[in-house]
Chains A and B, each alone.
Chain A
Amino acid sequence: MYNTVYDVHHMTHSQSNPDLFQNLCLELRRGSLILAVLACLRSEQYGYTLRKALADRGLDIEEGTLYPLLRRLETQGLLLSEWREAEKRNKRFYRLSPLGQEMLEKLLAEWKAIDASLAEIVKG
């Protein structure tokens, strides 16, 4: 019954105020995306395959978000990139830097802690 009431409440609000719902979703996803991108780049990939890999696992990310994010993470020293030929075309390959590896481990630990706390809070 709680679920039904929650769903109806949730649907009513998200339908009546789609902008608010979108904004909250964006905020919720923002931090998770960085984690997902860093985790995916433990193995080297170029932008398009990275985007597909994320989408295949249910995390759609727009190009307009992904590429600026990759640039920012590279500037912060978390990623390394190089232009290389693959499939007869030049592509920019990204991979995690040693600092990125270290940060990823810390962020994953933090995320697991948040997840556990949230599960406790939601359970009531």
Chain B
Amino acid sequence: MQPLDRYLSNLAKLLPADQREDILRELSEDIRSEIEDKESELGRPLTEAEQLEVIRRRGNPLQVAAAYTPNQGTLAFGPQLIGPVLFPFYVRVLTFNLGLTFLIVGVIFAALSLAGQPIHFRDLFSSVILQLFLQLAAVTFIFALVEKHLSRQPHDWSKMDFQTSFQAAIKSQIERKIQSGPKEISRFDSIAVLVASSVALLWLQSLWANQYLLFGPAAALISLAPIWHVVYLPAVFIMLVTIVRAAINIARPDWIRFRDVVSVLLDAASLAIVYTLMFAHTWVVPAVSASEHIASAVNHWAPIAIFASAIIALAQTIHDLIRLYKNWRWHSAPPAPSR
């Protein structure tokens, strides 16, 4: 890809969608005209470095795009801390960080509550306020530093350079992994997965026959709701496939892509099960009429546990997807030169 195309492609991502094509055509035409002008002045084509200089002089794509974007706000306490260029990114990062932090705080408090710990509103409130303050201070401080750098040296920051160095770093990491990374799945890992899945499958089957394993003495008062009948067979199927997959990888530890693809498919199936459970509304039913209040209390708190399971399942899926992508890249990359 030529430097100009790279620059325009970076810029395109930041421009308002309804004007993107028009702005890019015009800027591209302007840059080409300038390059041609310089070439006719010098009587020779510009080198790539000279072309890069023409493009760099235009400023970083963030600032160029900001000129076309309606002002979405700034942050100022006296002097301006975060200008209109960075402000939308600042809001996005802050929202994401705060969302994630509050989710974690919520899960922790829910877990404490489920474990029988008394939870006071003031504890929850002070935790939320503390996190809010810390995140706000940290994110604002980092963005204010970037803003200061950008305003002092507006042409010194190049997303292209950043991207190039970032890609080079990733490439060298991939090459290092190709040279030194595992070429086979550890048989120990496969055996561990096989054993753990077999135990889990046996436990699930026993649980179905004897709910005391799950509820303890409370099994006399509550039992599993019909939704578990819906998800039982798919759950057994997932475990069986996991066992088969691990067994195959014991025999063929070099089938890395097989392991990665099957894992992602199983993750998707697990997510579907958790999704089904999330919208069930009733997870346990009273075994006797006197235990309705117990079933109601469990049903009240069960969504938190299911939500936590959903987060874990999602994190596992993301992990396996990244692994699939990385391994795909390693295997698709040309072999490293021998030394």
Contacts and interface: CB of A to CB of B under 8 A. Distances in A.
B23 interface: yes
B44 interface: no
Contacts of A89: 29, 32
Contact of A90 (B29, B34, B64): B29
Band of interface residues on A: 10 to 19
A92 B23 CA distance: 10
Given A48-B34, A71-B68, A64 B59 contact: yes
Contacts of B19: 71
B219 to A, nearest CB: 70
Contacts of B25: 83, 90, 92
A110 to B, nearest CB: 26
Nearest to B29: A91
B156 interface: no
A51 B26 CA distance: 13
A50 to B, nearest CB: 10
A94 B23 CA distance: 14
Contacts, number: 42
Contacts of A68: 67-68
Interface string A91-117: 110000000000000000000000000
B58 A63 contact: yes
Which DSSP category, helix, strand, loop or mixed, fits chain B's interface?
Answer: helix
B27 interface: yes
Nearest to A66: B30
A79 to B, nearest CB: 13
B30 A67 contact: yes
A92 B67 contact: no
Interface in B60-78: 63-64, 67-68
A52 B30 CA distance: 11
A76 interface: no
Nearest to A47: B30
Contact of A47 (B29, B37, B64, B67): B29
Interface string B5-40: 000000000000001000101110110111001000
A47 B59 CA distance: 18
A48 B29 contact: yes
3 closest A-B pairs by CB: A48-B33, A68-B67, A64-B67
11 contacts: A47-B26, A48-B29, A48-B37, A52-B37, A62-B58, A63-B27, A64-B58, A64-B67, A65-B67, A83-B25, A89-B29
